[in-house]
Structure 1
Amino acid sequence: MTTHHSGVATAPRATTAAARAMDLTKVYGQGETQVVALDAVSVEFRQAQFTAIMGPSGSGKSTLMHCMAGLDAISGGSARIGDTELNGLKDKKLTQLRRDKIGFIFQAFNLLPTLTALENITLPMDIAGRKPDRAWLDRVVQTVGLADRLKHRPSQLSGGQQQRVAVARALASRPEIIFADEPTGNLDSRSGAEVLGFLRNSVRELGQTVVMVTHDPVAASYADRVVFLADGRIVDDIAGPTADSVLERMRNLSGGAPRTPGSDATARTS
């Protein structure tokens, strides 16, 4: 059943996991130079939910996302996208999984300058030899507000518009999950807020699953949930974050204050 929030039709929420880690470990180097980037991390990212991953520099947040997205091999434990175990997956199968089931949004927009916005959006499907679902593509384009920019090349678009093209590209193939690594890092505050709003709407209206790494408490406040890492371990997990509640958690992590999970997390109004 479709639910409504502030008069906006929303996609029904699922309770199953789009991605899951169990005792996930990532180790770089050997001997005296060995660094444990992830230390037996267990976490689920649920379908139709927007999750932010935060933590101090070097906490392992980007490593977790890269391992869960199949961009980096894991050292131990389990990483799954849906029912598919990534650990030990052959390169060809891993490439197919990333192409068919995962969407990516990076800080650098990664658009091809010679292609139009529409051509950039459909490029992954073109490479895979698949035709886009026209109705879904139209819906994605409307959701991110690009209907009047589809014939423009990246040089004719603002930074915020270029990142919206990247968001639409990630959504266009209807992936099971989208991983976003600091997607507003190169944007001014207004453009960043627009892109975060579009990600928020893709979850609420299109039923998309989004996992975003960010260092910005305001960006994290757009999420349904924030997972905090420190020294390669999950140290906190709050629902309904606000910028203030996220900032307080980050201060606690930086200052070594005691953890009080979920004590003051309040729902963000939107």
Structure 2
Amino acid sequence: MEAVKDITETAAVDLGDLLDAGDDAVVILEAGDTRLLAHRAVLADRSPVFAAMFAHDTLEASSGAVSIPDVGGPVLRQLVSYLYTLRAPQLPSTAPQLLAAADKYGVSRLKEECERQVAAQLTVETAAAAAVLAVRHSCSDLKHAALAFIKTCPFEVMATQGWADAMLHQPKDLIEVSRLLYDPPPKSRSLSAKERARRLVQAAKQRAVGELRALIAAGADVGAREVAAALLVAGADRGATTDVGGKTALDLARQNNHRRLVEMLS
């Protein structure tokens, strides 16, 4: 009930501001072919970015028209609707774009709600884009959710068009996602050499890419590391050749007398 009261009181204040706004009460928002009329008082009250824009001698303040780049018409409508109603739209398909717009205009509550919607619809196809979105817009909750999801099925996610698109269009963000996925946990560095080797064999058998990278970085047995590295380079394709003399992972396993890996790869 308290939340409803806060919204009602805020809306009443905004409506009161509109009464004394004069001829400059309305501004035109433009995104592509979409043009919306909105009250300056509402925009400024709900968005610190709009407030700063109208408070200074900017082109937008003097012309009465504001261009909204990188935001589609439907998303702009949803953003403006939220600024008036403080009710987040339940349209999961546009949640990522609306999150980006909310972040750009400093609408923190809408951004948080969009985070929850994106996290709730994580799939193999959407996980990469969600992780990149979280990194780019500093969404900690969404980042943790997306990374945890990817770790459960890394090969499936990396084989999707979403991962390929991120690699093409957001390479820096994807590099950060990869770093967060594969940085070795601190506990791995304290393992004994025998335990590291045992875990590396197990991780290779399970094709657990993150664990393989962590154990290699922690200094697992050289021979086993070569086999694990071969698996990683080959994308866990046990029959693919590597850059180590054109040998397969199975060749390296035999060369280094790793019986368990030989059995696994045979």
TM-score by length of 2: 0.27
* Higher-Rg member (1/2): 2
Structure with higher helix content: 2
Structure with higher strand content: 1
TM-score by length of 1: 0.26
Q: Which has the higher contact order (CA 8 A, sep 6+)?
A: 1
